[in-house]
Amino acid sequence: MPKRHISATRRDHRPLEVGDELRRRFDAIRAEQEVQEQFPPEVLAEAEDVRERARNLPDRDETAVPFITIDPPGSMDLDQALHIEGDDSHEGGGFRVRYAIADVPAFVKPNGPIDRESRRRGQTIYAPDRRTPLHPPVLSEGAASLLPDQVAPAYVWDIRLGADGSVRTGTVYRAMVRSVERFDYETVQRLADGGTAEGTIALLARVGPLRMERELARGGASLPMPEQQVLRDDDGTYSLRFRPPLASEEWNAQISLLTGMVAADIMLRHRVGILRTLPPPTKKTVAMFRRSARAVGVPWRKDVPYGAFLRSLDRTNPMHLALIFEATALFRGSGYTVMRGEVPDQPSHAAVAAPYAHVTAPLRRLVDRFGLLVCAALETGQDVPQWVTDALPTLPDVMTATGRRASAVERAAADAVEAAVLRDDVGRTFPAVVVDRVGPRDDADVVLQVLEPAVIARAEGTARLGTDVTAELAVAEIETSTVRFRLAGRAT
């Protein structure tokens, strides 16, 4: 299935007035997945107390560094702030990247109410009507967030790159920082495309592509899945669309990946920490994908790395789109691997093509807080706190379980919106593309992508991957988040 994205962006496709039925469905989904919406009183009390008196503020002051944030419009839980400048300290020049990450540990007492509650929640849960945060909003959208003009504690990753984007050095330390301006991706892209970008944004437009080149060189891969966006307007209306990704989003993602790789290197050198790992695809999986590529007429040459091949695919081409869905098989098996004195046999993340750790989203993801604590202690020559090393083995199960919950909520909520958009169209036929099969058999039902409205759904019937078809809408039920089609024939 495609990535789902919950957004408050102004709608521009097939608006839907949201009634009680859809609101009830969102509530039911959260109840079905046991999402804890309310924080216990003791958690809220601790949050109110520490928002004015953080436990342990850093002495280092980097508020003079003009950090900026880049996030979707309306975001308040700002984990990251960025500053890039030229670096002439080495022959040939290069770049200095400073990436400030919200210092959540400064506001969370070990084994206190917020700590215990965040270990239950694991991560922020997103739905079209609202998000259920990992931490109380007075922290995640207030005192701990890197909001513009707010002085806040942060873990600052200080990374020196060569002129080709390769890593020379990288470290992390705590400091007080201030973001001077908040940008969204569209604004960053417009400034870069128009030639009016300055400072950090102008350099991000240089560093991002360099890091993408480094990713391809080391054999990394990004899967260009179509992103289904559920749009919610201020007046309570919803709509669906497939949103083309912006280059600025990938540039920014490359900075996060860069930081995660530096973090993993620190952990591996000291043999302690928690890595985000993904095994390489099996020979059988690769062979099956090569057969699929040949079958839809887009052969994958053996001399082309899989990352380069995936980047060459065009999601607007039906044959390529089917391959993109098939390629998800290459990215299965991700997890977390704990180190407490020994290096694991498989420390790498196959898609990153390097060891990697989650450390850049502590406001929204539990494991990042522990990764930051580990790396900062190691880089300053201190022992990692015992309560941190004791907690590390518990984190993989927490993140796996809460990751399933987050995905289930997001998927079911988006399916409910699809059903609401389509409920008056049962019996109507739509042009669509066959992008996947429901099972391994050739006679299994298929998965369709309908372009207008932006829907991905199951259909009864068989057809080859990449085929343009017409499909009749058979079911659209909000109360069960169900949309089903049946194939009606080949598109003309």
Q: What is the pLDDT of residues 180-212, one digit of tens each?
A: 999 999 999 999 999 999 999 999 999 999 999
CATH superfamily for domain 426-490: Nucleic acid-binding proteins (2.40.50.140)
C-alpha distances (whole Å) from 197 to each of 88, 100, 178, 200, 204 are 21, 21, 21, 8, 10
Tell me the per-residue pLDDT of 116-130, one tens digit each, with 9 for 90 and over. Answer: 999 999 999 999 888
Element housing 285 (H / E): helix 283-295
Position 17 confidence tier, pLDDT thresholds 50, 70, 90: low
Q: Give the relative orientation of helices 247-270 and 199-217 as an angle to the nearest 10 degrees.
A: 60
Q: Tell me what pLDDT residue 12 has.
A: 41
Query: What is the model's pTM?
Result: 0.92
* Structure tokens belonging to residue 397: 């199960």
Is residue 242 within 8 Å of residue 229, measured between CB atoms? yes
The string of pLDDT tens digits covering residues 225-255 is 877 878 777 766 777 888 778 999 999 999 9
Closest residue by Cα to residue 318 from 461, 431, 418? 431
Query: Whose CA is closest to 449, among 309, 325, 310, 289?
Result: 325
- How far out from the chain centre does Cα 410 lie? 13
Domain with CATH 2.40.50.140 in the chain: 426-490
Strands, E, within 202-246: which ranges? Answer: 227-232, 237-243
pLDDT of residue 490: 67
pLDDT band at 19 (very low <50, low <70, confident <90, very high): low
Q: How far is it, in rounded angstroms, from Cα 347 to Cα 342?
A: 11
pLDDT of residue 171: 98
CA distances from 332 to 253, 257, 278, 282 (A): 20, 19, 7, 10
Sign of CA dihedral 423, 426, 428, 430: positive
The per-residue pLDDT for range 256-299, each reduced to its tens digit, is 999 999 999 999 999 999 999 999 999 999 998 998 888 888 88
Identify the band that residue 440 occupies on the pLDDT scale cut at 50, 70 and 90: low
pLDDT above 50: residue 425? yes
d(Cα 127, Cα 133) in Å, to the nearest integer? 11
User: How do residues 306-327 score in pLDDT, each as one tens digit?
Assistant: 889 998 998 888 888 888 888 8
